Amino acid sequence: MRAAAALSEHPLPAHAVGEVVGEVMERLSGPVDLLCVFVGAGLTGAIEDISNSLRELLQPAAMIGSTACGVLSQVSEVEHRPALSIWAATGISASTFRIEAGEFEPMRGWDSLTAKTAVLLTDPFTVPQMELLTRVGETAPDLLLHGGLASAANGPGGNRLLLDGAVHDDGAVGVALDGVPMTSVVSQGCRPVGDAFTVTGVERNIVTSLGSQSPLERLQSIADDADDAERALLGAGVHIGIVMDEQQDEFVRGDFLIRAVMGADRESGALAIGAEVPIGTTVQFQVRDAATASEDLRLMLAEHEAVAALTFTCNGRGAHLFGESGHDAENVHLLTGSGATAGMFCAGELGPIGGTNQLHGFTASTLLFG
Domains and CATH numbers, the chain: 2-187+293-369 (no CATH), 191-287 (2.40.30)
**pLDDT, tens digit, 9 for 90 and up, residues 30-69:** 899 999 999 999 999 999 999 999 999 999 999 999 999 9
In which element (H, E) is residue 229 found?
helix 228-236
Q: What is the pLDDT of residue 255?
A: 82
Contact in structure between 68 and 346 (CB atoms under 8 Å): yes
Residue type, 351: G
Reported as type and span, the H/E element at residue 24 is helix 13-27
CB 321 within 8 Å of CB 329: no
pTM flag (> 0.85): yes
Q: How far apart are CA 238 and CA 152, in angstroms?
A: 29
Q: How far is it, in rounded angstroms, from Cα 73 to Cα 58?
A: 18
State residue 107's pLDDT score.
57
CA dihedral of 19, 33, 111, 357, whole degrees rounded to 10: -40
Q: What pLDDT, in 10s, does the model give residues 196-209?
A: 999 999 999 999 99
Contact indicator for 177, 117 with CB cutoff of 8 Å = yes
How would residue 172 be classed by pLDDT, with cut points 50, 70 and 90? very high
User: CA 85, CA 41: separation in Å to the nearest integer?
Assistant: 12
Between CA 200 and CA 145 the distance in angstroms is 32
Cα–Cα distance for residue pair 82/67, rounded to 1 Å? 11
Question: Cα angle vertex 309, ends 308, 310, to 5°?
Answer: 140
